[in-house]
Amino acid sequence: MAFEQATQQIEKLREQAARGEIILGYVDETGFSSTPDNRYAWTKIGDVHAVDAIRLKRVNVMGCLLSTGKLVTSCLQESVTSTWFYAYLTGIAQQVKQTYNLPLVLIVDNASIHRSKKMADYRELLKSNFSTNLYFIPAYSPELNRIEMVWKQMKYYWRDFQVM
């Protein structure tokens, strides 16, 4: 039920954006490692398949796909925190306010940094200072957040791994 309701509400938001009443953004963070994930492998029956857990450099990327067609990204090598997330959203909200002077609705998932107590205070600041609201999609519904398609493309289709 929650998924269907969210689908309908997001469709209404998309219609508002198409009419020029709001700017709609799809926000999410992801991480990229310099070593690809081992998504599958073959092993002889009876043998134990062991995979080295070596992780080299990792880059975390925050992205926002706006209804205007713009993709706003930011990278960092540290963990993403609620404070960093708020700073990122504030930058987007400032740009939208200066460029379009329209309300901004950002679609986000239920990650802990989006739902923290600190972020609850930050959400009020975003709303009062920039007319920016967060819309939380139901749990386990990444297909409702269009930026997930961008991450999938980047991770599994655009990225070229070479084994040496």
pLDDT value, residue 163: 39
Amino acid at 163: V
Q: What is the pLDDT of residues 92-106, one digit of tens each?
A: 999 999 999 999 999
If we measure between CA atoms, which residue out of 101, 95, 115 comes closest to residue 22? Answer: 101
3-state SS track over 97-133: HHHCCCCEEEEECCCHHHHCHHHHHHHHHHHHHHCEE
Name the residue ranges covered by the structural domains of the chain: 2-33+57-152
Positions of E strands within the chain: 23-33, 58-66, 71-76, 104-108, 132-136
pLDDT value, residue 37: 58
Q: Predicted confidence band at 154 (pLDDT cuts at 50, 70, 90)?
A: confident
Tell me what the mean pLDDT of segment 140-160 comes to.
81
Q: Residue 140: helix, strand or coil by DSSP?
A: coil
Quote the CA–CA distance of 66 and 14 in Å, as a whole number. Answer: 11
As given in the structure block, the two tokens for residue 143 are 């297909």
Whether 24 contacts 13, CB under 8 Å: yes
Element (H, E) at 110: none
Q: What is the pLDDT of residues 44-67, one digit of tens each?
A: 788 777 666 665 677 888 999 999
Q: Predicted confidence band at 36 (pLDDT cuts at 50, 70, 90)?
A: low
Residue with tokens 């961008």: 150
Neighbouring residues of 63: CB distance < 8 A, sequence distance ≥ 6: 27, 28, 29, 30, 71, 72, 73, 147, 150, 151
Q: What is the pLDDT of residues 88-146, one digit of tens each?
A: 999 999 999 999 999 999 999 999 999 999 999 999 999 999 999 999 999 999 899 99
User: Can you give the C-alpha Rg of the chain in angstroms?
Assistant: 19
Q: Predicted confidence band at 164 (pLDDT cuts at 50, 70, 90)?
A: very low
pLDDT value, residue 7: 96
Quote the CA–CA distance of 98 and 38 in Å, as a whole number. Answer: 44
pTM above 0.85, yes or no: no
* CATH of region 2-33+57-152: 3.30.420.10
Higher pLDDT, 164 or 62: 62
Residue 162: pLDDT over 60: no
Quote the CA–CA distance of 129 and 131 in Å, as a whole number. Answer: 6
Instruction: Kindly state the percentage of the chain with pLDDT values over 90.
Output: 65
